[in-house]
Amino acid sequence: MIRSVVLGSGAAKPRTVVTNHDLEKKVDTSDEWIIQRTGIKQRYIAEPDETTADLGEAAAREALSDAGLTVDDIDMIILATSTPNNTFPATAVDIQERLGMSHGAAFDMQAVCSGFVFAVTTADTYIKAGQAKRILVIGAETFSRILDWEDRTTCVLFGDGAGAIVLGAEEGVGMSNDRGILTSHLRSNGSHKEKLYVDGGPSTTQTVGHLRMQGREVFKHAVAMITDVIEDAFAATGLTADDIDWFIPHQANRRIIDASAKKLKISPEKVVMTVEQHGNTSAASIPLAISVAKEDGRLKKGDLVLLEAMGGGFTWGAVLVRW
Ligand code: UT7
């Protein structure tokens, strides 16, 4: 059977680091509160001349180079983002143009913090259906642009950045020791909209709007939803938490990640945690964490990796992939 194998990865961060102490000067908060409640110590914030397309393009170039490929080898670009450069055209098309690619198709995918998991799953489906051989999957965000910088309950939580992977079709035997994506599971439930949303948009306010979140309410649902969809991934493959080499979750909050890992009985040394250095970068958080684990030598070919995310919508999902 056809498997979607990870051929390369890359990441890009804005130039400017903003620490918790920097934020203490802007809003009524403290380094201590932010670290204790979230684990975040700093985040990267885009300067006015750094856009989602800039960050996504840089991450894409690094992923292509890591894979030893050029855009000529790519059939499709899927960009997960909730902070596109423009309402339309899709920022993926902008990146396609910047990369010098005029064949194939590029489109954006919007599932907020779960965007990367949704985009990877979509890419896998195209590859398995034989409609594409190699797909560039990017998660890129500039959430700083939609934050209310006077709202301390949200502005301290998020950051900007991008990450990308190249997925390519390879033959597998259909067993769980195949390389590539072994299973993926997506969920959404619109009844939770008010808990995490942006209060503007083209068809309602004709403005971009600001992120609004009932943090405690999101927190309450997060662990149950995450662990539930991961249990589905385990059941579909016959794999268990013991088989996992690396758990690379969406990086929203250290307490959510710790509680999810504990409930799933995934030992702490297998958890890739980057929330401390990046904050919550929405659809970019998983590919950014992938690049950290790859650069420091943890993530190696053949490793079994569990990806997971949960975010606005609510949307949530899990992917099991052998690197
Ligand atoms: O990626 C998408 C998914 N998003 C998430 O997963 C986020 C999920 N939620 C969370 O991570 C947590 O709920 C937060 C980090 C957002 C908040 O942590 P919490 O432990 O749930 O705190 P809380 O909202 O219950 O607030 C506790 C107190 C409140 O004061 P009172 O009412 O107890 O007097 C807040 O006003 O902390 C106060 N507070 C702050 N204090 C200092 C809220 N924000 C801040 C702040 N600095 N930045």
Tell me, in angstroms, the distance from the centre of ligand 1 to residue 157's CA.
9
**Confidence at residue 310, expressed as pLDDT on a 0 to 100 scale:** 98
Q: What is the pLDDT of residue 65?
A: 98
pLDDT of residue 185: 98
pLDDT digits (tens, 9 = 90+) for 48-78: 999 999 999 999 999 999 999 999 999 999 9
Best substitution site from 155, 216, 276, 281 to test ligand 1's pocket, by max atoms within 8 Å of Cβ?
216
Q: How far is Cα 8 from Cα 145, in angstroms, rounded to an integer?
A: 29
- Choose the catalytic residue: 20, 85, 113, 253: 113
Residue found under tokens 């396609």: 96
Name the residue with the closest Cα to ligand 1, atom 35. 153
CA gap 182, 1 in Å, rounded: 11
The verdict on whether 250 is a catalytic residue reads yes
Residues whose beta carbon lies within 6 Å of some atom of ligand 1: 29, 33, 37-38, 113, 152-153, 156-157, 215-216, 218-219, 222, 252-253, 256, 280, 311
Q: Which atom of ligand 1 is nearest to the CA of 312?
A: 2
Q: What is the mean pLDDT of residues 20-24?
A: 98
CA distance 302 to 322: 6
How many CB atoms are located within 10 Å of the residue 245 CB? 16
List, in order, residues 6 or more apart from 302 with CB less than 8 Å away: 179, 322, 323
> What confidence tens digit (pLDDT) does each residue in 279-295 have?
999 999 999 999 999 99
Domains of the chain: 2-171 (3.40.47.10), 180-322 (3.40.47.10)
Residue that has been written with the tokens 């067993």 in this structure: 175
Q: Say which DSSP state 72 is in.
A: G
Of the pLDDT bands very low, low, confident and very high (cuts 50, 70, 90), residue 263 is very high
Q: How many CB atoms lie within 10 A of CB 203?
A: 6
177 catalytically annotated: no
pLDDT of residue 89: 98
Pick the residue whose CA is nearest to atom 11 on ligand 1.
Answer: 253
Decide if 113 is catalytic: yes
- Ligand 1 centroid – CA 153 distance (Å): 6
Burial of 173 (0-12, 13-18, 19+ CB in 10 A): exposed
Measured between alpha carbons, how far is 117 from 123 in angstroms, rounded to an integer? 10
Gap between the Cα atoms of 209 and 247, Å rounded: 33
| Averaged confidence pLDDT in the chain | 98
Phi, psi of 63 (to 5 degrees): -65, -40
